[in-house]
Homo-oligomer: A and B are copies of this chain.
Amino acid sequence: MDNKKARKFEAVRWVMVFVIGVTVGLVGLFVDFFVHLFTKIKFSVVGDSIEKCTDKGCLSLSLLELLTFNMVFVFIASVLVLIEPVAAGSGIPEIKSYLNGVKIPGIVRLRTFLCKATGVLFSVAGGLFVGKEGPMIHSGAIVGAGLPQFQSITFKKIKFDFPFFRSDRDKRDFVSAGAAAGVAAAFGAPIGGTLFSLEEGSSFWNQALTWKVLFCSMSATFTLNFFRSGINFNKWGSFQLPGLLNFGEFKCADGDKKCHLWTAVDLGFFVLMGVVGGLLGALFNCMNKCLSRYRMRHIHPKARFFRVLESLLVAMVTTMVIFSASVLLGECRDLSSPTTHNSTLSGSEDINSTIRQFFCSNKTYNDMATLFFNPQQAAIHQLFHQDGTFSPVTLSIFFVLYFLLACWTYGVSVPSGLFVPSLLCGAAFGRLVANILKVKLGLQIYSGTFALIGAAAFLGGVVRMTISLTVILIESTNEITYGLPIMITLMVAKWTGDFFNKGIYDIHIQLKGVPLLEWETEVEMDKLTASDIMEPNLTYVYPHTRVQSLVSILRTTVYHAFPVVTENRQNERDFMKGNILISNNIRFKKSNIVSRAAEQRRRCQSMKSYPSSELRNVCDEQNAAVEPAEEERTCFSRCWREGTLPTQTCTQTSPPARSGPWRSDSDRSPSTASFCAPSWSTCSSGASATPRTSRAPLSPGCPSQK
């Protein structure tokens, strides 16, 4: 490529990252606007009803109203996920996999994007204990992957003649930028977003890329900021509302000279809170892992309808808990004097405007309802900034209920983030500690800081992110002086949690059977050689194997992927001897790559009539040109780290393996024609629907076909 062309490309890249940033910002705006609108309508209708019914005694009517709202919203979210199953969950595990080179079909497609962005809107508005931040990151990544392609697979009509940025590297770069923009838009944290991309995705520090990613993040943050400031304050052109999640301003009252946000002494408490946060996070992850396993075994294999039912069940229980806790368990507490620090919420609401007075006399208010009957962000604000208004009992009950429900909710098939629930849960814990220290021990502390540190500790214990999370939290508070306490807390929480299990995203990556290469491998792996993990008894097929044989192989084995070996040697025995096989296969592959890819595509097209949408996914991403050499390496390393799987024929990767044939568990019965979609998930150990006992003679990872 000559010099001029390279420069032109570079310019187009800059424009692209800008456009991606702006688009992600607009997506954030869309989600935020409608969540805000729906939540406002819901709470005002139900709130009015409760106010009326407190006297009349028609509270069950109010509950019914709330139930109707929530169930309808959650039903919509759940149906959207039915349309595109990969839109479920937060999407961060999937994006992490993608950035590390493991592609999951459909994960960066327009349809997924539409389902995710719309779905999260409804699941948040539906009162589930989920956040919109994770899905924002996923949406951002999809925008990053999709925009530079100038075409869509979902909508065939969207197709411009712009055949650049089709290489794997370019795509991944744009996805990095998009994911970073997602973080930036969600938290108003452009630097944190950049570091998120680097921490999760990069192993090579590419200065030019980092600079572009930061630019993209900035564009997203400030696009969102621009429109939100315009819409909410009607001040177009000013920039006052940085991210979707904003922690408000931590600030001592102006006159108060004795007030400090934190002191050196507090650091000791922060470390202890980090330990507790790590333990709680580990517990959360452990429970969620068991739940997810249960779900995979007992719900996913059933009809899809059951997933919707589960979502509705969660919505119903959540609603009941919210309602009954507010009615039965809330304490009426005195309204504090107008707080001296006027922290402005997003949407120009004052901190006191989100206080709920349900069932309480004038001048007092219901503290449980204040936490439960508000959008989660408002509740976080309350915990961070409202001075001395929550009783320890309320906080404890709130924490336990929230912990359990959030744990149950994450994994239900709706688009759902984990950041905000974790923050809220942790903030309650932190506030509880602050209450105890302040009231019982009489220490001079700033409650908001403790709530923040509690939030950081719990979140850190759950997700186990390090640098990027530190920076995200610092940026969200817009207070650099919180750097040290947040970092120490996160560090301690991570170390404590790592003692017991992995972070929630890694757990879900593992459960889904994605072969992700960790930064640090297990200690035992250092001593393994290739021969230790090889499978001596290999089931393989020939290019011209008859369908009958295939079916019989599929019936008698539990695998979904088989190496295809050629017959151009006289002696099969020779053929199977290590190196010869490998080198031979590489030759075979190189000479056949074009014809095989075409063949594959043809076959997939003819399969569009097949009812399962997931099977179709497999074939969709095969249009991009592929570089055999890179593939082989990817595959090789992929199989390498999966200590559990044998990988004798790993060099035989072909387009289907690379574009990540990767299917949900419900579709895994061996009798389906899975030959076109040999599944990576056979490599994985966890949560497989296949019989556990037959795992010992697991077979090849990377399949090949002719």
Q: Kindly state the separation between the CA atoms of A648 and B440 in the bound complex, as whole angstroms.
A: 77
A484 B214 Cβ-Cβ under 8 A: no
**Stretch of A104-112, A475-483, A499-507, A633-641 on the interface side:** A475-483
Q: Kindly state the separation between the CA atoms of A263 and B226 in the bound complex, as whole angstroms.
A: 9
Identify A474's interface contact among B3, B191, B215, B242, CB under 8 A.
B191
A265 B242 Cβ-Cβ under 8 A: no
| 1/0 contact string of A186-210 vs chain B (CB within 8 Å) | 0011110010001100111101101
B265 A237 Cβ-Cβ under 8 A: yes
B491 A264 Cβ-Cβ under 8 A: no
A262 CB–B CB distance under 8 Å: yes
Q: What chain B residues lie within 8 Å of A188 (beta carbons)?
A: 480
A519 CB–B CB distance under 8 Å: yes
> Please, which residue of chain B has its CB at the minimum distance from the CB of A266?
B237
Q: What chain B residues lie within 8 Å of A261 (beta carbons)?
A: 239
A483 B218 Cβ-Cβ under 8 A: yes
Tell me the chain A residues, 230-275 only, with Cβ under 8 Å from chain B. 235-240, 242, 260-265
A239 B191 Cβ-Cβ under 8 A: no
Q: Kindly state the separation between the CA atoms of A491 and B520 in the bound complex, as whole angstroms.
A: 36
Q: Kindly state the separation between the CA atoms of A202 and B204 in the bound complex, as whole angstroms.
A: 9
B237 A264 Cβ-Cβ under 8 A: yes
Q: What chain B residues lie within 8 Å of A263 (beta carbons)?
A: 237-239
B218 A207 Cβ-Cβ under 8 A: no
Q: Quick one: given A191-B471, A221-B484, are A519 and B208 in contact (CB under 8 Å)?
A: yes
A565 → chain B, closest Cβ, in Å? 38
Q: Kindly state the separation between the CA atoms of A483 and B190 in the bound complex, as whole angstroms.
A: 8
B478 A479 Cβ-Cβ under 8 A: yes
| 1/0 contact string of A161-200 vs chain B (CB within 8 Å) | 0000000000000000000000000001111001000110
Q: Quick one: given A262-B239, A484-B221, A523-B3, are A210 and B479 in contact (CB under 8 Å)?
A: no
Q: What chain B residues lie within 8 Å of A202 (beta carbons)?
A: 205
A234 → chain B, closest Cβ, in Å? 12
Q: A199-B207, A203-B205 are in contact. List 20 more A-B contacts (CB 8 A).
A: A190-B483, A191-B471, A194-B467, A199-B205, A202-B205, A204-B205, A214-B470, A214-B487, A218-B483, A218-B487, A221-B484, A222-B483, A226-B264, A236-B264, A237-B264, A237-B265, A238-B264, A242-B480, A475-B480, A478-B480
Q: Give chain A's interface secondary structure class.
A: helix
A12 → chain B, closest Cβ, in Å? 16
Tell me the chain A residues, 476-534 only, with Cβ under 8 Å from chain B. 478-481, 483-484, 487, 491, 519-520, 523
Q: What chain B residues lie within 8 Å of A467 (beta carbons)?
A: 194, 207, 210-211, 214
B211 A481 Cβ-Cβ under 8 A: no
A466 CB–B CB distance under 8 Å: yes
Q: What chain B residues lie within 8 Å of A470 (beta carbons)?
A: 214
Q: What chain B residues lie within 8 Å of A3 (beta carbons)?
A: 523
Q: What chain B residues lie within 8 Å of A520 (beta carbons)?
A: 208
> Please, which residue of chain B has its CB at the minimum distance from the CB of A226?
B264
Q: What chain B residues lie within 8 Å of A207 (beta carbons)?
A: 199, 466-467, 519
Q: Kindly state the separation between the CA atoms of A199 and B191 in the bound complex, as whole angstroms.
A: 14
A474 → chain B, closest Cβ, in Å? 7
> Please, which residue of chain B has its CB at the minimum distance from the CB of A264?
B237
B222 A484 Cβ-Cβ under 8 A: yes
Q: What chain B residues lie within 8 Å of A491 (beta carbons)?
A: 215
A686 → chain B, closest Cβ, in Å? 24
B483 A221 Cβ-Cβ under 8 A: yes
Q: What chain B residues lie within 8 Å of A190 (beta carbons)?
A: 483
Q: Kindly state the separation between the CA atoms of A190 and B483 in the bound complex, as whole angstroms.
A: 8
B481 A242 Cβ-Cβ under 8 A: yes
Q: Mind listing 19 A-B residue pairs with CB under 8 Å?
A: A3-B523, A188-B480, A189-B480, A191-B474, A191-B483, A199-B207, A203-B204, A207-B519, A210-B467, A211-B466, A225-B481, A238-B263, A238-B264, A239-B260, A239-B261, A239-B264, A240-B481, A242-B480, A478-B478
A26 → chain B, closest Cβ, in Å? 16
Q: What chain B residues lie within 8 Å of A199 (beta carbons)?
A: 205, 207, 210
Q: Kindly state the separation between the CA atoms of A226 and B242 in the bound complex, as whole angstroms.
A: 30
| 1/0 contact string of A621-656 vs chain B (CB within 8 Å) | 000000000000000000000000000000000000
Q: What chain B residues lie within 8 Å of A240 (beta carbons)?
A: 481
Q: What chain B residues lie within 8 Å of A265 (beta carbons)?
A: 237
A177 → chain B, closest Cβ, in Å? 14
Identify A204's interface contact among B204, B235, B523, CB under 8 A.
B204
Q: Kindly state the separation between the CA atoms of A210 and B481 in the bound complex, as whole angstroms.
A: 20
> Please, which residue of chain B has its CB at the minimum distance from the CB of A6?
B523
Tell me the chain A residues, 91-149 only, with Cβ under 8 Å from chain B. none
> Please, which residue of chain B has its CB at the minimum distance from the CB of A184?
B483
A260 B242 Cβ-Cβ under 8 A: no
A314 → chain B, closest Cβ, in Å? 35
Q: Kindly state the separation between the CA atoms of A202 and B207 in the bound complex, as whole angstroms.
A: 9
Q: Kindly state the separation between the CA atoms of A475 and B474 in the bound complex, as whole angstroms.
A: 10
A172 → chain B, closest Cβ, in Å? 14
Q: Quick one: given A202-B205, A467-B210, A519-B207, are A484 and B218 in contact (CB under 8 Å)?
A: yes
Q: Kindly state the separation between the CA atoms of A310 and B214 in the bound complex, as whole angstroms.
A: 43
Q: What chain B residues lie within 8 Å of A478 (beta carbons)?
A: 478-480
Q: Kindly state the separation between the CA atoms of A3 and B520 in the bound complex, as whole angstroms.
A: 13
A259 → chain B, closest Cβ, in Å? 10
A362 → chain B, closest Cβ, in Å? 31
Q: What chain B residues lie within 8 Å of A483 (beta carbons)?
A: 190-191, 218, 221-222
Q: What chain B residues lie within 8 Å of A471 (beta carbons)?
A: 191
